[in-house]
Amino acid sequence: QVQVAESGGGLVQAGGSLRLSCAASGRTFSSNVMGYVMAWFRQAPGKEREFVTAIGWSGGSTRYADSVKGRFTISKDNAKNTVYLEMNSLKPEDTAVYYCAAARGLVWSRARTSSSYEYWGQGTQVTVSS
């Protein structure tokens, strides 16, 4: 089994910054960590869940949604099995519940699709005030 848990959400003013963390754990994950892709999705009230960014645990390849490119950065700490989402220049439209997800053996062409991910965290609320 694989568990993922997000932390770091909160309330911030427009133009501010916030860093989210996603800790991955579980025997299955630990023994096959290099085969996983980790991603962040978000869901605003009344909207569908949308892709934000993803990172491959092996090699560190990344993908970003156009709406966050240049403002958000995904990174990982191999020693801690943790993925981070650094969010800068936040806008009110970034307000959403942010979810961390993990998938093993994911083809990069499907990295932006939520149904590609097997494991999900509970989500953390990010609210950006204007």
> Of the segments 1-5, 30-34, 78-82, 83-87, which one has the largest average pLDDT value?
83-87
pLDDT tens-digit series, residues 81-103? 999 999 999 999 999 999 999 99
Contact 117, 39 (CB under 8 A): yes
H-run or E-run covering 123 = none
pLDDT tens-digit series, residues 48-59? 999 999 999 887
- 34 φ, ψ (degrees, to nearest 5): -70, -15
User: Judging by DSSP bridges, how do beta strands 10-13 and 124-129 pair with one another?
Assistant: parallel
Q: For residue 101, what is the DSSP state? A: E
Q: How far apart are CA 20 and CA 47, in angstroms?
A: 21
